[in-house]
Structure 1
């Protein structure tokens, strides 16, 4: 099915739940991410930003503010930071690919169910394991699905000996708080 599925469509996609993990667009993204994508060479720190239901977190000004505040709070070198979004059903979405089809033209059932959150966490862990990051910073909104996801990712990353840090995010005021 994936081979005959178009790479571009006029309309966006809607994902309802776990059955959509096997849709051609999702499978293609995950396969290409593993086989063809590598993070920028200077990237030593990965900042994971939760994608909002409206995808408003992808606005360049928003991302720039997040990166500047995170670098200030944690004392990071800006040139070493790489930003990715995390979102059902694709898992991890590098900022460089975030405005391409189908990574921008989709919607998902909100809030995602537990199986979907686990699937997204697994995709994040696969990506992290294959990348040369020295540190992972995961932004999360308290009380949202991203809080459940962060619990899964941090637990697994510690078991895999990957340094992960959580920064709670107040999406409305862009305040980052170090735990």
Structure 2
């Protein structure tokens, strides 16, 4: 969404960084922000490691649909997703999913911290995570959790049509 020909990217890596010698093999594509303004806003609420506990009303345009809800961190999205799947019948599966997703997220946090401490650019945010979501695409669909690729976002605004806690318990459970 950001026009790179007219706006400098505040999240762009320092010019002396060379992807050819990056210790983790990251490329310009890996560290380049899709939208510096949206990334900065999400970093402000959830930090660059995407583990903060804030909440931000956000409305996005994605593939012609409007997606409106409360943006949350990846850590909170993992926690809520696992909780949605947990039941007496699925406890082993949800516990395994919890371990795998948290291990992946933990690795991301560790690498981001190490790179930041070394003055290297970190991997750019690639997804936005939301709760209490309403999707409008000819009709309205409410979902409790949503994850979408930032590369698919063509527009956004601060604010949501779904204030926190407006979904019914049936909508929360996916029924």
Using structure 1 for the length normalisation, give the TM-score. Answer: 0.30
Using structure 2 for the length normalisation, give the TM-score. Answer: 0.30
